[in-house]
Amino acid sequence: MSTSKDPVDAIIEQWAAVRPDLDTAAMEVFGRVFRLARAMGDRMEKAYARYGISRGEFDVLATLRRSDAPYTLSPRELSATLMLTTGGMTGRLDKLERAGLLRRSPDPHDRRGLQVTLTDEGLRLIDEAVGAGLDVQTAALSALDNEQAAQLAGLLRPLLAATAS
């Protein structure tokens, strides 16, 4: 593991100089988590841009793909899974439908409802894009060995559970 200092160390040292009474242990963890999330978000955005989609659009397609054949969910189910407002979901669905990656159709079980289904092109694209995204994540994770990566995943799980709303 690297012992070189990073920007978070500099921030912690600055706080220690001006406020030695502060316990900055949480800042050390979350400062790195925030910076890592931002950096990886940017990398993921670039990986998905090659397929003409954003991270948010990837999330919609990936959610449909994970639902298994026939890759259909209601807009409400998509919104709940992705923690999006219905307005935010509508914009994503509009763009993806115009691109031919999904289609909306009446729900045969609810006259007032719609269902959203991946098209063949959407299925092909998401299967390629998820592989490209995993390649980016795997490359970044190569800074750790397998045991360290498993330990980190194990440590983050209860932290996420404790902070998720």
**What is the DSSP code string of 55-93?**
HHHHHHHHHHHHT-TT-EE-HHHHHHHHT--HHHHHHHH
Specify the pLDDT at position 165: 67
Q: Which amino acid is at 102?
A: L
Q: State the Cα–Cα distance between residues 65 and 73, nearest whole angstrom.
A: 10
Specify the pLDDT at position 64: 96
Q: What pTM was computed for the model? A: 0.86
Chain Cα centroid distance, residue 120 = 23
Q: Which residues contact 21 (CB under 8 A, 6 or more apart)?
A: none
Q: Give pLDDT tens digits along the chain (165 positions).
A: 556 899 999 999 999 999 999 999 999 999 999 999 999 999 999 999 999 999 999 999 999 999 989 999 998 889 888 888 878 888 999 999 999 999 999 988 888 889 999 999 999 999 999 999 999 999 999 999 999 999 999 999 999 999 886
Q: State the Cα–Cα distance between residues 42 and 45, nearest whole angstrom.
A: 5
Instruction: Identify whether the C-beta of residue 64 lies closer than 8 Å to the C-beta of residue 71.
Output: yes
Specify the pLDDT at position 41: 95
